[in-house]
Copies of this chain bind each other. A is one copy, B any other.
Amino acid sequence: MENMPAQAAAPPPTSPAPSPFPGLITREQEPLNLELPFPTLTEPVVPTNRFFVRSHFPIPALAADTWQLHIEGAVHEALTLSYDELRQLPATTLQATLECAGNGRARLTPKSKGLLWEQGAVGNAEWTGVPLASLLARAGVAPDALEVICEGADQGSVNDEPRAPGVISFARSLPLAKANQPEVLVAYLMNGQPLPPEHGFPARLVVPGWYGMASVKWLTKLTVSTAPYAGYWQTLEYAYWQRSHGQPTLVPVAEMQVKAEIARPALHEAVPAGQPYRVFGAAWAGESDVASVEISTDYGQTWQPAHLLGEAVPFAWRLWEYSWTPPAAPGRHTIQARATDRAGRCQPTTHDPDRRNYMITKIASVEVFVS
């Protein structure tokens, strides 16, 4: 041993900075895409550091003191607002559930393109911001205007199919009929605190009732337009097929569809035989309300009502529970949950391919082991 070279004292191990989102599952590192492990859901409002993150490009480094929001296009007077000016305007606070339009994509067969989200690209938070309608009213919208193109500061190139042309920003348009609803906010607080960079600091759109792609983060420009906008994110991506005269027509993904998710039991959870088990989850219904959630343990032959928890909050999901007593004998069982909205719309049993790989609301199924 005396022949071994003397070793310099090893430098102390450098540990990486702790993740700001310790409880989330990484679906993609760059750009950052993080999912809530849905079986860990407990409360109606998801803490900010447990809220799913959806990014299309690297997170832009924006500073509050230089950020500006431009409102232009078919308006009486173009406006520019600073962060301080925005925060001095009359504000609204509300809850809204945001779900990525591709949530549940991992369930599709055959395997789909796009990020393979399981159940948890969805969350409910409290948002504070200025109603978009009030900003549009200040600018004065032209009488022939149709929609508002909402553009973020995030940009880059999309090199996977379908390709985007060169460097583009994330941008979506919102029809004025929705943009002028009082629930649509230019938000700067999430759960009472300034937005984290990952959620759109300094300000983002929050479009309650619509899939998440409408809630443009790092919002920097609103362009009022008299023509339908056909940008990448509402034609090649985030668009689906509607039938009109039998012919399919590509339309932008918009309102969230009614959906129940089972948080517990988790997939392949071991459940004690013969004892009551609390099945628990959440359901949401876009611009409507959840009217009922039902549970089946016999592969959809019969359905029993689940108990809706708390009070209905507009645009927020509703937690629910159901007491299930599995048989005394060991075996495999499947729990299914389905929600119905106030308009009587229910969930499909299979995914309609016209929805492409978006709006995935086929009835959730969880297989468990009773032992």
| Residues 217-254 (chain A) with a chain B CB within 8 angstroms | 223, 228-232, 235-236, 239, 241, 245, 247-251
Bits for A160-193, please: 1 = Cβ < 8 Å to B, else 0: 0111111011010000000000000000000000
B residues in contact with A151, CB < 8 Å: 247
CB-nearest residue of chain B to A228: B228
B residues in contact with A353, CB < 8 Å: 165-166
Asked if A84 is at the interface (CB within 8 A of a chain B CB), the reply is no
Asked if A149 is at the interface (CB within 8 A of a chain B CB), the reply is yes
Q: How far is the CB of A113 from chain B (nearest CB, A)?
A: 8
Also in contact, A250 and B228, with CB within 8 A (given A165-B241, A353-B165, A353-B166): no
Residue of A230, A239, A241 most packed against chain B (CB within 10 A): A230
Asked if A28 is at the interface (CB within 8 A of a chain B CB), the reply is no
Asked if A354 is at the interface (CB within 8 A of a chain B CB), the reply is yes
B residues in contact with A235, CB < 8 Å: 230, 235, 239, 250
Bits for A312-332, please: 1 = Cβ < 8 Å to B, else 0: 000000000000000000000
Query: In the docked arrangement, what's the CA distance between A248 and B230, Å?
Result: 8
Query: In the docked arrangement, what's the CA distance between A29 and B162, Å?
Result: 27
Asked if A249 contacts B236 (CB within 8 A), the reply is no
Query: In the docked arrangement, what's the CA distance between A248 and B151, Å?
Result: 12
Q: How far is the CB of A220 from chain B (nearest CB, A)?
A: 12
Residue of A149, A165, A166, A229 most packed against chain B (CB within 10 A): A165
Also in contact, A248 and B166, with CB within 8 A (given A161-B161, A228-B228): yes
B residues in contact with A169, CB < 8 Å: 247
Q: How many of chain A's residues touch chain B, expressed as a range?
A: 20 to 34
Residue of A149, A239, A248, A354 most packed against chain B (CB within 10 A): A248
Also in contact, A231 and B245, with CB within 8 A (given A236-B236, A354-B165): no
Bits for A113-154, please: 1 = Cβ < 8 Å to B, else 0: 000000000000000000000000000000000000101000
CB-nearest residue of chain B to A246: B169
Query: In the docked arrangement, what's the CA distance between A247 and B165, Å?
Result: 9
Query: In the docked arrangement, what's the CA distance between A163 and B228, Å?
Result: 23
Query: In the docked arrangement, what's the CA distance between A354 and B245, Å?
Result: 31
Asked if B232 contacts A168 (CB within 8 A), the reply is no
Q: How far is the CB of A361 from chain B (nearest CB, A)?
A: 17
Query: In the docked arrangement, what's the CA distance between A72 and B197, Å?
Result: 53
Q: How far is the CB of A256 from chain B (nearest CB, A)?
A: 21
Query: In the docked arrangement, what's the CA distance between A77 and B228, Å?
Result: 29
B residues in contact with A163, CB < 8 Å: 356
Query: In the docked arrangement, what's the CA distance between A56 and B241, Å?
Result: 20
CB-nearest residue of chain B to A252: B230
Q: How far is the CB of A171 from chain B (nearest CB, A)?
A: 6
Query: Out of B149, B162, B239, which one reaches A247, CB within 8 Å?
Result: B149
26 CB < 8 A contacts A-B: A73-B245, A149-B245, A151-B247, A162-B162, A162-B236, A164-B248, A165-B241, A165-B248, A165-B354, A165-B356, A166-B248, A166-B354, A169-B247, A171-B247, A223-B245, A228-B228, A229-B249, A230-B249, A231-B248, A231-B250, A232-B248, A232-B250, A235-B235, A235-B239, A236-B236, A236-B250
Where the two chains meet, the residues of A that have a C-beta atom closer than 8 Å to any C-beta of B are 73, 149, 151, 161-166, 168-169, 171, 223, 228-232, 235-236, 239, 241, 245, 247-251, 353-354, 356
